[in-house]
Structure 1
Amino acid sequence: MEPVFLFKKLISRLIFPLPLTLQMVLLGLVLLVFGKRKAGFFFVFLGAGLLGGMAVEPVADRFLQSIEQQYQPINERLGHNVPYVVVLGGGHDSQDNFPPTSQLGSSSLSRVVEGVRMAGLHPEAQLIFSGGRINDPVPHSQVAALAALQLGVEPHRILTESEALDTEDEARAVKEMVSGKPFILVTSASHMPRAMQIFRYHGMNPVPSPADYLAREKQYTPWSYFPSARGLEKMERVFYERLGLAWASIRGIIPAETVD
């Protein structure tokens, strides 16, 4: 696995909501041990307060909706033929006794289902699944393709790309596979803004078909305003995508104003 890829993953994990706030609390405790009471209590309460606030689901939804709502789902067939539907990789865990649909993570399964839905609306299209080996001996694209087969897609309609480790790798690989032809791009709604920027940077202009919406419009109950693992999961998605945009901006792949 490439050192740059590992470095990105390590740094991002250190500044996700949970580890970041726990580091603040730990710093505060260390300061207290060394007699720095004022600074110590400041960091302890800052870390605990931020963690509790970010884990409130309505708060997380507000931040996540600003990312997810940039692109809307496709609810009917496009007015022209679509040669390809490209489904970007997510995550999976290989289990020999599990069907492919159960090996995929929730985001990945949502992407595959959306890709199959697009293939149903566009029977002339081939499905391209991308994604290589990340912490698993089996390429992600292979598991996604097997899931699509189980969901009724004909084998001759499925293509795979099994080397890409991140979205930029996928964009380069897909560019070669589609050879300038139009295509629908399927990925999670929160990932779609970054994916579209990267694909455009590489000279493509796909039709976005977002899936896996997490921050949906709904009525909150009083219990929704208590910190929860679900709220923290959504805020982690916000951090992940903002960090991804920032990294792409630093490298000049996307405009700096996109990160705002």
Structure 2
Amino acid sequence: MNFSSFFTNLIIPLNLCITLLVLAALCFIVRRRKTAALLAGLSLCWGVFWSLPASSLWAGGRLEQLYPYVPPQDLPAAQAIVVLGGNTAGGRRNWFEPYHRNRAITRVETAAQIYEAHRAPLVVLSGAALEGKISEAENMAAVLRKQGVPEDALVLETNSYNTHENGVYTAQKLKALGLSRVLLVTSALHMPRAMAVFHKQGITAIAAPSPPQIVVPDDPDFSFWQPNERAFDAARSIIKEYAGLLAYWVRGWI
């Protein structure tokens, strides 16, 4: 595990809360009572902050709103649609509501809608095999074939394990085909980092995110300020994006 992955995992709410409490206990044992109280207080504040829906809506919503969702028919034409792997089987409609498979909209389904709207003649699928032997690109291609996308419209990139590699290896594929203007499909939360990576590779990318997921639900009993387990779980992905943006900037990848 590299440092950026370690740092990201460390600051995930549950992990950091436990780490701070362990340090607080050690400080208490060695009679550093004030330090122990401070660490315990920080643990409590970090956990409570990320358990509030208002926090997720503020922090995650800011990222999602940088590239607003545009219906497929309203997107500009491009030379290809690029779909990034990652959570391609998820697509929860709203992070504050229970998951319903029949209401989910995945990245690959967003790409299918864009293709059906005749926004581009090719679909480039990017993602290596994170588990098993079948790559994410191949899994996405299978879904698109079932939805009527012809084989000759599919281009697969199966070597990338992260967003940076998505950009590097996909750019190589695109340049080999003489393509430079693409509609980039990923989740709304992930779009700011993905767009920065592709622009760094010299690709003219137009954001075509899946619909935002960090939005206020229709539930009349929904509370912004009542601790919520789903908000606490959502913090993992939100923090990952902020940490990823920082790490990619430090490395010169964006």
TM range (shorter): 0.7 to 0.9
Quote how far apart the aligned CAs of 1:163 are: 0.4
Q: Work out the CA distance in 1 between the residues paired with 2:75 and 2:140.
A: 27
Residue from 136, 152, 156 that aligns with 1:156: 152
Unmatched tracts of structure 1, length 5 or more: 93-103, 255-260
1:117 maps to a residue whose letter is: Q
Deviation at 1:50, TM superposition (A): 1.5
Stretches of 4+ moved more than 3 A in 1? Answer: 76-81, 105-109, 217-224
Compute the displacement of 1:80 (Å).
6.0
Change (3 A) 1:106 1:78: closer
Q: Deviations over 1:135-166 (max 9, x none)?
A: 43321111111122233323332221110111
Q: Which residue of structure 1 aligns with residue 48 of structure 2? A: 52
8 Å CA contact 2:85–2:126 kept in 1: the answer is yes
Residue of structure 1 equivalent to 2:197: 198
* Gap runs ≥5 in structure 2: 93-103
Counterpart of 1:110?
106
- Counterpart mapping for 1:88-237 below 5 A: 88-91=84-87, 104-106=89-91, 110-122=106-118, 124-179=120-175, 180-218=179-217, 221=221, 223-237=223-237
Residue aligning to 2:100:
none
- In 2, Cα distance between equivalents of 1:190 and 1:172: 20
Shift of 1:217: 4.2
- Supply the RMSD in Å over aligned alpha carbons: 2.4
Structure 2 counterpart SS, 1:183: strand
| Structure 1 residues 73 and 138: CA distance shift in structure 2, 3 A | same
2:20 matches 1:24: yes
Relative distance call for 1:250 and 1:43 in structure 2 (3 A) is same
Tell me the CA shift for residue 57 of structure 1: 1.0
Question: How far apart, in 2, do the equivalents of 1:149 and 1:82 lie?
Answer: 21
Residues paired across the two proteins, number: 239
Which amino acid in structure 1 is aligned with residue 191 of structure 2?
M
Q: SS of 1:77's equivalent?
A: helix
Which residue of structure 2 lines up, in the alignment, with residue 97 of structure 1?
Answer: none
TM-score by length of 2: 0.84
- Look up the SS of the partner of 2:106 in the other structure: helix
Deviation at 1:134, TM superposition (A): 2.2
d(CA) in 2 for partners of 1:185, 1:173:
14
Q: What is the CA–CA distance in structure 2 between the aligned matches of 1:130 and 1:223, rounded to whole Å?
A: 38
Residues 150 and 9 of structure 1: CA distance in aligned 2, closer, same or farther (over 3 Å): farther
CA distance in 2 between counterparts of 1:115 and 1:79 reads 12
Question: Higher mean Cα deviation, 108-117 or 245-254?
Answer: 108-117
Partner of 1:245: 245
